[in-house]
Amino acid sequence: MSIPTLQSVLAQGQLIAPDTFDGISTRAAEHMGCKGALLSASALTHTVHGTPDEGTLSTSEMVWSLSRFVEDNCGIPLIVEVRSGFSDNLRIMPYDLERIVKAGAAAMLLDDRAFGCGSDSPEIVLVSPEVFAQKVAIAVEAASNTDCMVLARSYAPDKADAIARCKAAQAAGAQIVGAVCMHTEEDAEEFAEAVSGSKLWSDLTVKRDKPEVTAERLMELGYGLVFITFMEKASWFGDMDFGTKNWANKNTVYADLHDFDGYLLDEEGKLRDYHYIFSYWKKWMPLEKEFEDLSELGKEAFQEVKA
């Protein structure tokens, strides 16, 4: 399966990328019309470990997940959240990040949190701006001679500090930068005025039933990449919706006849098996047909020998 580069997607306009964490959510993002997605280390931790995210996800777990999604499920570029680079040991980082690149990452999203600090950690511990810049430079080297991009995001709570860190990351080679402490349109304007070049918006948050800043306004300010987080919540809702109704009915009629609000209907309006959305399903069906054909040949040969 040929997957476009992140550069080519961004060249077409603003990319709004949801947070994915497995093959199903990644394919769902593609079917929603998303041109790229963020492979969330936090969401992956919740699903792989079943624990709060405190930075425990290993390089091997991310590499395994990424390689499976890219090879079997994914037709869109995946931005991989590598966070600290999986280590604060700058001698080990190159090896780990090269593995991420080789596994098929369209981009690596590096941040300035210390190793072992995750989204559910009780406090955020940051590395120094100098170490952050060193880590970005290591990521750039790991991605050299490939199409993999290097993105950088600061978790500094102070805006001035976050801006300074993003500038340091740019100087070290980061192609797109952003800061988690930015939420409102005023924040977006302040950051855009201070930081030149390509920018990312860390999360499109909501306040009083409205987004704190619109994607359109962000595009005007130079934010070509916008992250939105909802896929974990959506997956949980689907599980609970199907589960509670099937449990109450003591059968699977509700789930079996659900058409995903029309997504599972074919051109003639007939209900398709939901497995059709998985690219690996499409990948294996021709092989199964080939094996069936070989099986028929085997049966014919057996009948000839038997005769």
- Please, are residues 262 and 236 in contact by the beta-carbon 8 Å criterion? no
Confidence of residue 298 (pLDDT cuts 50, 70, 90): low
In a domain, 295, yes or no: no
Q: What is the pLDDT of residues 263-280, one digit of tens each?
A: 778 888 888 777 666 655
* pLDDT for position 198: 96
Confidence of residue 15 (pLDDT cuts 50, 70, 90): very high
Q: What is the pLDDT of residues 26-55, one digit of tens each?
A: 888 988 899 999 999 999 999 888 889 998
* pLDDT for position 270: 85
d(CA 174, CA 296): 57
Q: Which amino acid is at 251?
A: N
**Contacts of the segment 208-211: beta carbons below 8 A, 24+ positions apart:** none
* pLDDT for position 279: 53
In a domain, 278, yes or no: no
In this structure, the number of other CB atoms found within 10 A of the CB of residue 145 comes to: 7
pLDDT exceeds cutoff 60 at 247? yes
Confidence of residue 301 (pLDDT cuts 50, 70, 90): low
When mean pLDDT is compared across 64-78, 125-139, 282-296, the lowest value belongs to 282-296
Q: What is the pLDDT of residues 51-94, one digit of tens each?
A: 899 988 999 999 999 988 776 678 899 999 999 999 999 999 99
In a domain, 264, yes or no: no
Confidence of residue 300 (pLDDT cuts 50, 70, 90): low
Q: What is the pLDDT of residues 205-218, one digit of tens each?
A: 898 889 999 999 99
d(CA 192, CA 197): 9
- With 0-12 / 13-18 / 19 or more C-beta atoms within 10 angstroms meaning exposed / middle / buried, residue 152 is buried
* pLDDT for position 136: 98
Percent of the chain at pLDDT exceeding 90: 69
In a domain, 258, yes or no: no
* pLDDT for position 288: 62
Q: What is the pLDDT of residues 145-158, one digit of tens each?
A: 999 999 999 999 99
* pLDDT for position 172: 98
Q: Give the CATH number, domain containing residue 83.
A: 3.20.20.60
Six-digit token pair at 68? 């499976």
- With 0-12 / 13-18 / 19 or more C-beta atoms within 10 angstroms meaning exposed / middle / buried, residue 182 is buried
Mean pLDDT of all residues in 158-187: 98
pTM of the model: 0.88
HEC secondary structure over the chain: CCCCCHHHHHHCCCEEEEEECCHHHHHHHHHHCCCCEEECHHHHHHHHCCCCCCCCCCHHHHHHHHHHHHHHHCCCCEEEEEECCCCCCCCCHHHHHHHHHHCCCCEEEEECECCCCCCCCCCCCECCHHHHHHHHHHHHHHCCCCCCEEEEEECCCCHHHHHHHHHHHHHCCCCEEEECCCCCHHHHHHHHHHCCCCEEECCCCEECCEECCCHHHHHHCCEEEEEECCHHHHHHHHHHHHHHHHHHHCCCHHHHHCCHHHCCECCCCCECCHHHHCHHHHHHHHHHHHHHHHHHHHHHHHHHHHC
- Please, are residues 39 and 66 in contact by the beta-carbon 8 Å criterion? yes
Cα 152 → chain centroid: 15
b/e code 266-278 from CB counts within 10 Å (16+ = b):
eeeeeeeebeebb
In this structure, the number of other CB atoms found within 10 A of the CB of residue 146 comes to: 13
Opening angle at CA 110, ends 80 and 14, nearest 5: 65
In a domain, 147, yes or no: yes
* pLDDT for position 307: 57
User: What's the whole-number average pLDDT of the chain?
Assistant: 90
In a domain, 31, yes or no: yes
In a domain, 107, yes or no: yes
d(CA 54, CA 32): 30
Q: The domain containing residue 96 runs over which residues?
A: 6-231
pLDDT exceeds cutoff 90 at 111? yes
Mean pLDDT of all residues in 110-118: 94
Overall domain count for the chain: 1
* pLDDT for position 195: 97
Confidence of residue 249 (pLDDT cuts 50, 70, 90): very high
